[in-house]
Structure 1
Amino acid sequence: MIGSPFDNQKLMALAQSDKILSLRNELPDLPISEVANKVMKLDTMTREALNLAKNPHGNFLVHSLIHNFLYFSVNIHDTYTTPDGEGGLIEALKALEVDRFNIYDLSKSFIPNTLFAATYYFANTKMSEHDVGRLIVTHVASKVSDIDQMDTQDIKKVAPNDIVANVGHATPLMRAVYAGDLQLTRILIEHGANPDFKNENGLDCHRIAHDNQNTYPEFYREFLAMTLVNRQQDNAAVKKVRRL
């Protein structure tokens, strides 16, 4: 992000205007196919302001769209959640993208960026079991600036079964591994997430997977195979560079 859009007084004034706030609160309730069409008709500054406007819960529009989509996917299973619907959400996200800042880097509360938000919703709702959400996470993972950014939750306030209460602060990949979600783990690693990244307690994804192997034995075997292949590829790349 070049500079902070939050320092632009004109832009922030527009983001807090009744017009933008009304539009920001309207869009998540529209059929997903209509969101992209409506956003694409807006000028650049309006789209920038729209991205920076929050709802009463402090959510940016990009977070609300993803959350609503995944929530409806699990709880309603209507046409909104078909593969075409998922593609429609990605088109809406693309329409919201601007040059001044990366919308996928916007943080809310303890969630450091949109990838973490998508991973949080995906893992907590077992999206892999519903065969939806994969395209969304893939898209966001390809766009976010820091794929290994950790959450900032207050450990004293998290639920007892949350990863933060048991492991410490986590990256999106750590959360995927903790949930035993192979599909999500594979997507994140393929987009550069680092399984060797350690949190404040010195724990990485290998340790988390190992400690949960009795709960997710099949995941643990697949994770070992996946990370072994990645390390072999990395070693081969290093050797090739050295030969050059």
Structure 2
Amino acid sequence: MAASSKVRKQVLTDLRRTEIIAAALKIFGTKGFAAARAEDIAAQADIAKGTLYLYFRSKEEIYVAAVQHAIDQLNERVQERLQSATGIRQRVAAFVTARLEFWLERRSLYRLLLTVGREAQNRKQTNALLRTSAQSLVTLLEEGVATGEIQPQPLEAISWAVIDLLRGANERRLDGVVAHSIEQDAEFITRLTLHTLGLTEEPSSPAKSSSNHPTAQS
């Protein structure tokens, strides 16, 4: 009974923390991080200011928790997409598309990553996010090497280049610099990545192959 009560309490705590994070992101998005106050976040979350401090000591701590929460959600999103993708081409496309879509849905948090995330006290977490992103792509590409779909090559360098392309696409969209769609960005980055990996064309289907190479009987 005691164990059940403890689990229930933890679930409620996690739920309340998630609600506070969501409220804080709305306030950060409307007022900016510097101008946001604890009482603003508490009001948005419909709780007392004192209650807020039971879960977070400061808005900086909320920011750190928000980024970690987003990282967990992003990893889940990417893994879900990868589960339904077959072959290295589809898996690279799923990786790229999932990340572009995810940050498009979380513009406010991404804007914070570009500002608050680059401050000295948060730089370590931001760099860890980038390293995790690059390493997840390295792992995906290593699977392609293991199956013989791609040849051994400097996968870490390629992965960092892809992450940089994704960051650039996200920032340009956030700043309103580009007019084309997220699908166009995803297709371009995917095609460029596949080209770098030496995968410039889709493999021919058996039917197409036989039509291009008639047998002696024909």
> What TM-score do the two structures reach when normalised by structure 1?
0.28
> What TM-score do the two structures reach when normalised by structure 2?
0.31
Higher-Rg structure is: 2
Structure 1 or 2: larger helix share? 2
